[in-house]
Amino acid sequence: MLDDARHHGVEIEFVDRGHATSLEEAAQNLGIEPREIVKTLVAKTKVTQTAREHSYILVLIRGDQQVDWAKLRRVAGVKKASMAAPDEGFHATGYRPGTITPFGSFGEGNVRWPVFADESIADRICMGAGEPGLNLFVGAAELFDAFGVVTADIAK
């Protein structure tokens, strides 16, 4: 993950936050507000309703928000989008739920999935760092530039 950040010229800071059973508890352990934690979700997508094959996208959403799936489908240009099952998310990224990050996140054949973020995400953010109990801080603008993140209103 650190190599991927360096490759993209992005500075990240790792923080050991300790054990947490919820996003709110993680925020409390870190001394920040839940809205400052950005969840990285894996969405399973299909270009048409009847398509047999699917793909994945990564979705960045603030900790105090939920994804508006209809808005995300429009922005991503897909007909179906839903949360991937935990095992699918692991298969697509190599990370378990709660630890997923765009850094070092690859699917089979080193596929890097497109990343979509809610437009309200800004400044310095906190997100999963690939391991339980660990978070990273990064500048949102740096992250978005490095990964070609598409920003739009995708929250409800």
| Residue 2 pLDDT greater than 90, yes or no | no
Of the candidates 56, 60, 38, 39, the residue with the CA atom closest to the CA atom of residue 47:
56
**CB within 8 Å of 48: residues ≥ 6 apart:** 79, 80
Report the DSSP beta bridge partners of residue 151. Answer: 117
Regarding predicted confidence, which is higher, 142 or 1? 142
pLDDT tens string 25-55: 999 999 999 999 999 999 999 987 777 888 9
Q: What's the pLDDT score for residue 110?
A: 84
Q: What's the pLDDT score for residue 131?
A: 94
Question: Percentage of the chain with pLDDT > 70?
Answer: 100
Mean pLDDT, rounded, for 86-93: 94
Q: What is the pTM of this model?
A: 0.94
The Cα 152–Cα 71 span in angstroms is 9
pLDDT tens string 96-142: 999 999 999 887 788 889 999 999 999 999 999 999 999 999 999 99
Q: What's the pLDDT score for residue 48?
A: 77
Which tokens hold the place of 96? 């378990």
Domains and CATH numbers, the chain: 2-152 (3.90.960.10)
